[in-house]
Chain A
């Protein structure tokens, strides 16, 4: 699992946000488009792309995209 690839996959879940706005240090919950629906999208992406399970609670506790990457990478 590689951080840059994860950031690209994470950014691809957004519809209206420019992918360039989403970096490893982005606090994703501060993005206008972030929502519980996007949370579902990220959970499914993590399962499909990386074969890992991330929970809604973990999504709520992480702040930056890199935090989330580290949480998933440790699984």
Chain B
């Protein structure tokens, strides 16, 4: 058999936010590509449902709320050494700038930025990240493309990009790669629960050059590529995946 650089066989990969959306699609694809997948999310029931769908043999899911320090620490303590991590845990938010409160800022930044950064730090401090592994962060096109009522979400995803780029330099000596995925609109529970109607979204979707928003599986394919040895020379990159859209 030809050695396939796109294969994930022999790799152990942690996927956060794995109970739905992009995290779920990524976990399922990684398992199909041969990886041992460890699922993390907050909702135990949904996590178990994803676990049941994984082809192959995998450790039990590790539910944890990543915004809580003790839960992050318990999660990391329970993990084996990893070959890949996909940071998908995140939340959506739509509010005008003039309406933002301290609670909004905390809620969005704690989940999308602080929890992700602190989990990554804990994984490194507890030596759970193997030499030569690949880390993937879910950012967003909105980090660079302004849209109305999206300031806080955009800022949180911009912060992730900046963090990931610095991290890539710090980990390069150990051949650990760090890349970001910046999707435009993707059909996930997250976009559908932000107070925008499905009809409005479908009208905007028709304006995308490829005539559709992304599906979680579209993003999962890019994540799988970034986790694989096929992307060995990629680090510090932020890859747009947009269906051709230049706006969001």
Quick check: is A18 within 8 A (CB to CB) of the other chain?
Answer: no
User: Hey, which chain A residues are within 8 Å of B173, CB to CB?
Assistant: 33, 35, 37
Measured CB to CB, the nearest residue on chain B to A15 is: B174
User: Hey, which chain B residues are within 8 Å of A37, CB to CB?
Assistant: 170, 173
Quick check: is A16 within 8 A (CB to CB) of the other chain?
Answer: yes
Nearest Cβ on chain A to B47's Cβ, whole angstroms: 31
Most chain A CB within 10 A, of B131, B173, B174, is at B173
Tell me the chain B residues, 139-179 only, with Cβ under 8 Å from chain A: 170, 173-174
A17 to B158, CA, bound (A): 35
Could you give, for residues 1-45 of chain A, a 1 whenever the CB lies within 8 Å of some chain B CB and a 0 otherwise?
Answer: 000000000000001100000000000000001010100000000
Q: Tally A-B pairs: CB < 8 A.
A: 9
Contact B170 A16 (CB under 8 A): no
A36 to B119, CA, bound (A): 24
Interface residues on B, range: under 10
Contact B127 A15 (CB under 8 A): yes
Secondary structure call for the A interface: loop
User: Hey, which chain B residues are within 8 Å of A16, CB to CB?
Assistant: 131, 174
A35 to B171, CA, bound (A): 12
Nearest Cβ on chain B to A62's Cβ, whole angstroms: 21
Nearest Cβ on chain B to A69's Cβ, whole angstroms: 23
5 more contacts with CB within 8 A, not counting A16-B174, A33-B173, are: A15-B127, A15-B131, A35-B173, A37-B170, A37-B173
Measured CB to CB, the nearest residue on chain A to B124 is: A15
A51 to B174, CA, bound (A): 29
Tell me the chain B residues, 172-204 only, with Cβ under 8 Å from chain A: 173-174
User: Hey, which chain A residues are within 8 Å of B131, CB to CB?
Assistant: 15-16
A33 to B170, CA, bound (A): 13
> Can you list 9 A-B pairs, Cβ within 8 angstroms, ordered by A?
A15-B127, A15-B131, A15-B174, A16-B131, A16-B174, A33-B173, A35-B173, A37-B170, A37-B173
Nearest Cβ on chain A to B85's Cβ, whole angstroms: 16
Tell me the chain B residues, 115-131 only, with Cβ under 8 Å from chain A: 127, 131
Nearest Cβ on chain A to B55's Cβ, whole angstroms: 33
Nearest Cβ on chain B to A23's Cβ, whole angstroms: 21
A35 to B170, CA, bound (A): 10
Measured CB to CB, the nearest residue on chain A to B127 is: A15
Measured CB to CB, the nearest residue on chain B to A35 is: B173
Nearest Cβ on chain B to A36's Cβ, whole angstroms: 10
Most chain B CB within 10 A, of A33, A35, A37, is at A37
User: Hey, which chain B residues are within 8 Å of A15, CB to CB?
Assistant: 127, 131, 174
A16 to B127, CA, bound (A): 10
A37 to B170, CA, bound (A): 7
Could you give, for residues 2-33 of chain B, a 1 whenever the CB lies within 8 Å of some chain A CB and a 0 otherwise?
Answer: 00000000000000000000000000000000
